[in-house]
Structure 1
Amino acid sequence: MQPTSAAPAARPANATLILLASLYCAQGLPSGLMAHSLPVLLRQHGVDLALIGLLKLLALPWLLKVLWAPWVDRLASPRLGHHRGWILPLQMGVIAVIASLALMDPERLFDSQFLLLIGLLLINLAASTQDIATDGLAVRLLPERWRGLGNSLQVGGYKIGMLVSGSGLLLAMDTFGWHLSLALVAVLLVLMTLPIWRFNERRELPFQPAQAEPAGPGLLLRHYRGLLLQPGMLFWLAVLLSFKLGDALGSPMIKPMLVDQGWSNAELGQLTLISSLAGIAGAFLGGLLYARIGALRALLLFGLLQACGIAAMAVLVNAGGSIGLVYLVALFEQTADGMSTVALFAVMMRQCRPEHEGADFTLQASVQLLLAGLVGATSGWLAEQLGFANLFISAGVMGLLALPIVLLYFWRAARPVSRVA
């Protein structure tokens, strides 16, 4: 755990906040395109459902990036800067691919599909690698007290980017067509590149080679072994693996439950949009509160709200006709989810070692997402066995059981300090 300074750190400069918001929004733009817009457009052009489902495999670089993350921490352009040397060329590569897709005829692109699949794979590969460098830069730029706010920008910026290129792009297609709509996404990415283009990383955050390790054979093993051998890491992994499990178990079944109660696609789309905005607001609120109440109380309070939010979904079973009640519970659940995510990501940053920030954060995120994904995959089967109400209550209980683990981790982390005193 990093030492805390005697004086509270000043809030990061506005230029720093704009820089981070632009980088995470830039990551959300291609993600929204692939997750929300393209499946609709492909189906409208008669593409087989099985192939549309297989598009998820193109996101494998986001899961596998942990394998090359240590090299992103080690290797970069001496002229552009350590993290900036990765971010700039990768973001320009994403812009080039999207601009190329905008120039192609959509009929031929969707009929042949080969060029589209190659383009999407390149986008995922570039964006996932850029995410390693962006997270490393964020850890270095943000003092401990303000990492909650920084992660608000991460969660909020990413979700805004996804909304713009997801719902926004589908709306724009009807008015502007394929070429101009995709070109607008590329233009937005260019605008999001300007802050990192102007950022002088070599002056602001000079590389510290004494704290790094050689990028030779065995770097992957040395890097992660060093992280896992840090004091208290075993207890932190227990927090990391348990904190979002309740949410991962319950949230995939919210929309299927409402579908069973007769909600239409349009009604679900409106609910998703409004609840997503509530999640963004929750992320920003969580970041501001994190700076005031600290890591322990933020994890406990936001974790409690998260558990209550997912358990409250049980109230909606057989109550889908009550529109106001559905919106009330859904907005509360999404707000709590945004707050808890920000707190977890902020404490993840505390575990990152100097000059190891990108890979250390990546490993923690990958571990947490992998287990959450496996648990989420069982949610449908459990809903069939237990019923929706029991599933949501069980998910809430699982969320509550994570809170004593949080207390144990902080108690163990504070023990050496009390002995010195």
Structure 2
Amino acid sequence: MSPSASRPSNATLVLLASLYCAQGLPSGLIAHSLPVLLRQHGVDLALIGLLKLLALPWLLKVLWAPWVDRLASPRLGHHRGWILPLQSGVVVCLAALALLAPQTLFGSGLWLLLGLLVLINLLASTQDVATDGLTVRLLPERWRGLGNSLQVGGYKVGMIVSGSGLLLVIDPLGWNLALGLLAGLVLLMSVPILLFPERRLLPFQPAQAESALGPRLLLNHYRGLLAQPGMLLWLAVVLTFKLGDSLGSPMIKPMLVDQGWSTAQLGQLTLIGSLAGIGGALLGGLLYARIGVLRALILFGALQALGIAALALLVGQGANTGLVYAVTLFEQMADGMSTVALFAAMMRMCRPEHEGADFTLQASAQLLLSGFVGAGSGVLAKWVGYEGLFVGAGGLGMLVLVIVLAHAQREAATKGARLRP
């Protein structure tokens, strides 16, 4: 089915929002709730630190993503045939956690807990590959910004529910009932994809997929992606677009801690900031449909850089709560808008029947480099101070927009050459 430029149906929007929310539900449990619960049960800090390693499947999924694009279920449909079993597996794992006593899981059964969490991340990260591929195929280019708004917003809503929400209800409800409700929510999020008639609307086109199924599939798939005209310059955009944000944002909370902010105050700021980020993502998606990819990348990238640089105004101003909220919420909104623009632009570079893996390679490369840069933000803050860090990160964010312009010029020149007789 050739996608039209009309706005996607409400059923399509609900489908995508439910799939990305389903990914955020277990992620919030692992990232936000479990570290608190483990420490309350006396688990060693070194073991709690291992939770970060459980996210490795999200980085390594690039290694098996081509098989998600290549293999399709003749009965369930291509992406649906992956998403339904994988999401069902997450439900089973969460239900297993709900049936076990927390005293066992956080004591003698700790390694069982860690094993189930690795399995949950493996299932959810692979579901993400199929979901991204489905999103690219479902949405016409004009509305991919809105699709990525649902991606960012749905994922953050899921993380809020299973992070802050779970911590609020676990004392009155208990571990077993709270985890059972979480499993039930993921199951509820599976209803839209269960009802989605993918075989009729988006039939698999094996002629456009890779012919190989063995070990050469990985090489053939990504070699084909990198061979596209202008792809190397575009990858430079992908790798650098969020570097300013990655360098500056990790130091926001340490700076506020140094200025006397309590854990409760930071928790409230984080929650409201997450909601601002969701609002920014939704606004960015709507504006993307009106102004197009280039203007969105330049405008939202500039706002992102301005937001990071503005954090320098908070140095020594921790007691000015209004200023802290104004600047940090602006930064969160700009981050949501710029993320939507980048992800929507990444979808433009995906080939038919290669959507999931092509998007995964770009996203994984961006996250990996951003992670390395973010890891050095503390060292740089000690060297130049918070103010120097934020101003420098904002300047870096503005500088990388030159690469965006270079990519746009090359793309325009390529289109002009195609139009000439």
State the number of aligned residues: 416
Give matches, 1:195-274, under 5 Å: 195-214=192-211, 215-274=213-272
- Find the aligned partners of 2:395 and 2:235 in 1 and give their Cα distance: 20
For 2:10, give the aligned amino acid: N
Deviation of 1:216 (Å): 2.7
Structure 2: distance between partners of 1:29 and 1:76:
26
Amino acid corresponding to residue 83 of structure 1 in structure 2: H
- Deviation of the 1:55 alpha carbon: 1.2
Give the deviation of 1:291 after TM superposition. 0.1
Counterparts of 1:51 and 1:78 in 2: how far apart (Å)?
A: 43
SS at match of 1:236: helix
- The alignment partner of 1:206 has SS state of coil
Whole-Å separation in 2 of the counterparts to 1:18 and 1:375: 35
In the TM superposition, residue 323 of structure 1 has moved relative to its aligned partner by: 0.2
Report the CA distance between 1:115 and its aligned residue: 1.1
The one-letter amino acid of 2:303's match is: L
Q: Which residue type is aligned with residue 293 of structure 1?
A: I
Q: SS at 1:268's partner residue?
A: helix
State how far apart, in whole Å, the 2-side matches of 1:125 and 1:216 are: 21
How many angstroms apart in 2 are the aligned matches of 1:217 and 1:190? Answer: 34
State the one-letter code of the partner of 1:324.
G
1:356-414 residue CA offsets vs partner (Å, 9 max, x unmatched): 00000000000000000000000000000010000000000000011111111011001
- CA deviation vs aligned residue, 1:303-328 (integer Å, no higher than 9, x gap): 00000000000000010010000000
Q: Alpha carbon RMSD of aligned pairs, Å?
A: 1.1
Distance 1:274 1:176 in 2: 25
User: 2:339 aligned to 338, 341, 344, which one?
Assistant: 341
Structure 1 equivalent of residue 329 of structure 2: 331
User: What amino acid is aligned across from residue 230 of structure 2 in structure 1?
Assistant: G
Q: How does 1:11-410 map to 2 (within 5 A)?
A: 11-112=7-108, 113-214=110-211, 215-410=213-408
State the TM-score, normalizing by the size of structure 1.
0.98
**1:16-38 CA-partner distances (Å, limit 9, x unpaired):** 00000000000000000000000
Measure, in 2, the Cα distance between the counterparts of 1:77 and 1:170.
39
Query: After superposition, what is the alpha-carbon deviation per residue over 1:53-103, rounded to whole angstroms, capped at 9, x for unaligned?
Result: 011111110010000000011113211111111100000000000011001
User: Can you list the C-alpha shifts for 1:275-333, whole angstroms capped at 9, x where unaligned?
Assistant: 11000000000000000000000000000000000000000001001000000000000
- Percent of residue pairs identical: 75
Structure 1 counterpart SS, 2:260: coil
Q: Is the Cα contact below 8 Å between 2:250 and 2:374 reproduced in 1?
A: yes
Structure 1: where are the runs of 5+ without partners? none
Q: Distance in 2 between matches of 1:41 and 1:161?
A: 19
Runs of 4+ in structure 1 displaced over 4 angstroms?
none
The one-letter amino acid paired with 1:75 is L
Give the drift of 1:246: 0.1
Shift of 1:114: 1.4
- With structure 2 as the length reference, what TM-score do the two structures score? 0.98
Structure 2 distance, partners of 1:78, 1:44, is 48
Describe the SS at the equivalent of 2:78: coil
Work out the CA distance in 1 between the residues paired with 2:8 and 2:408.
26
Distance 2:301 2:18 in 1: 28
Give the distance between the partners of 1:169 and 1:72, measured in 2 at CA: 32
Q: SS of the counterpart of 2:106? A: helix
Counterparts of 1:16 and 1:417, CA distance in 2: 31
Query: By how many angstroms is 1:217 displaced?
Result: 3.2
Measure the CA separation in 2 of the matches of 1:77 and 1:245: 39
- How far has the Cα of 1:417 moved from its partner? 2.3
State how far apart, in whole Å, the 1-side matches of 2:379 and 2:399 are: 22
Cα distance in 2 between the residues matched to 1:105 and 1:234: 51
**Separation in 2 of the partners of 1:284 and 1:144?**
16
Cα-to-partner distance string for 1:200-234 (whole Å, 9 max, x where unaligned) = 11111001111111223300000000000100101
Aligned residue for 1:111, secondary structure, equals coil
Alpha-carbon shift at residue 235 of structure 1 (Å): 1.0
**Which SS does the other structure have where 2:203 is aligned?**
coil
8 Å contact kept, 2:72–2:204 = no
